[in-house]
Structure 1
């Protein structure tokens, strides 16, 4: 278990953390970072000190010989330092550009608000950088989709329903990329062949049919024979490393679902306005307020 210190003063560090749980600790007012590793009930401190201009770095105690003098099972004392514990899943750290998970970018919801909505089977709007596409996607955990939710997504989206999936799941379901060896992988969307669920659907195009297809893609019990190709739902390959490697909607949606503690399969579609054009940030914020949806910036996940 690693505890990583960033910079800022809030709550006291709890005396113990459950063994095996990854957590991040935030400290305020410091130009330093540190980690503590619990191995066989012994705490091993690791500290990194930074100069004010961050040009000089010094690592202290990187080896396993730095046994905490407090003894077995006792975490190191931090004296007057105080901290806030932020749980994480799969090493993702929830923060905005300033490293404060409780302070989202201006005009946006917090990441925690978005995660709570996803856990409750609700939609979240994710907006990318204004220098990229400057648009927004409706996002939901694929395992939570219903006919009603799919109808809402089709009504307010482009009609193209994407399902963000890991490489492992795509290989299991034998879903190859639509265009292999895409040279613009960082900028373009890695669509696979489109699919419909083979069972429980009719033409595959209705909201009910597409919801069944999304649920089939989300299930770990599905196999290649459960899907017919081509279809009306578009699986998209998630880039390993998520938004840290590619700040796209697929990566943001799968990262959010993963952080929410659900299976890493998302469903998302681009939001449009009444004339069919892509919704801009102001329109997305108005839409989020009208339907009481959290709206987050992908930059706050990075």
Structure 2
């Protein structure tokens, strides 16, 4: 195996990658939404911790998102809550959904931001029982690969990997971001960076999480004070840019996308 010392550019890229992952984790711990860029099609997704879902956070997400709000979770969690897989999503669809749900207690129609926040928080509650939900409902359950982005590099897997790093329950809210330039399309590319700059929101690419996990899960081995770089898969991070100083001085409740 060929050993090679990383160049200054490679080290800077890795610092930026780790920084974006760290910023995303910090934002979710603060109860804020982040944007996850899908390297497959370039689409951005608003994402947040289900256990920290609030009325205002869900309302903000639906305002800027498609309205198709999903609760991303592992298949084992869905089985524990009695949420069966929908039989067929059609050929070529790389996503898997379980039956949609509403929380029974503390909700009315199930469609409001308040009701969906309540349902998300209950799905993330480890004490929740299957009888606490009606089926079908207004919150769609998306099943993610147990191995995260190393099994399937998609936004749902990236979200749960971030929640795992944050040591939060592995249920998260996920909603595609709508373009502000064209309300009939989803936001991609430069528009994701513009949105995050405008709304002081952390941006992370699925490829960032792939790189982060490969770095931290014994994909980089230190031998005799030299770094041996193991071959890694190549993922584009075109939607992500070097980190910029976001206004960390402001409390989470005073900025868009925060849980208040």
TM-score (structure 2 length as normaliser): 0.73
C-alpha distance in 2, partners of 1:103/1:234? Answer: 33
For residue 195 of structure 1, report the CA deviation from its aligned partner: 0.6
Matches within 5 A, 1:127-146: 127-129=37-39, 132-146=40-54
Say if 1:121 and 1:140, in contact at 8 Å, map to a contact too.
Answer: yes
Partners of 1:221 and 1:198 lie apart in 2 by 15
1:51 matched residue in structure 2: 2
- Partner of 2:97: helix, strand, or coil? coil
Q: Which has the larger radius of gyration?
A: 1
Structure 1 match to 2:20: 110
Matches within 5 A, 1:88-237: 101-104=14-17, 110-129=20-39, 132-179=40-87, 184=92, 187-237=93-143
Where has structure 1 moved over 4 Å in runs of 4 or more?
A: 97-101, 180-184
Q: Give the CA deviation at 1:170.
A: 0.6
Q: Structure 1 length normalisation: TM-score?
A: 0.63
The higher-RCO structure (CA 8 Å, 6+ apart) is: 2
2:178 counterpart SS class:
coil
What SS class does the counterpart of residue 202 from structure 1 fall into? coil
Structure 1: unaligned runs, 5 residues or longer: 1-49, 54-96
Q: 1: CA distance between counterparts of 2:69 and 2:134?
A: 16
The C-alpha deviation readout for 1:192-240, integer Å capped at 9, x for no partner, is 1111111111100111011111111111111111000111101111111
Q: Secondary structure at the match of 1:211?
A: helix
Does structure 1 residue 254 correspond to structure 2 residue 160?
yes
Q: Secondary structure at the match of 2:96?
A: coil
Q: How many positions carry a matched residue from both structures?
A: 203
| 1:48-82 CA-partner distances (Å, limit 9, x unpaired) | xx3348xxxxxxxxxxxxxxxxxxxxxxxxxxxxx
Structure ranking higher in helix proportion: 2
CA distance in 1, matches of 2:176, 2:143: 17
Tell me, which stretches of 5 or more residues in structure 2 are unaligned?
5-9, 211-260
Deviation, 1:147, is 0.1
- Return the alpha-carbon distance in structure 2 between the equivalents of residues 197 and 282 of structure 1: 37
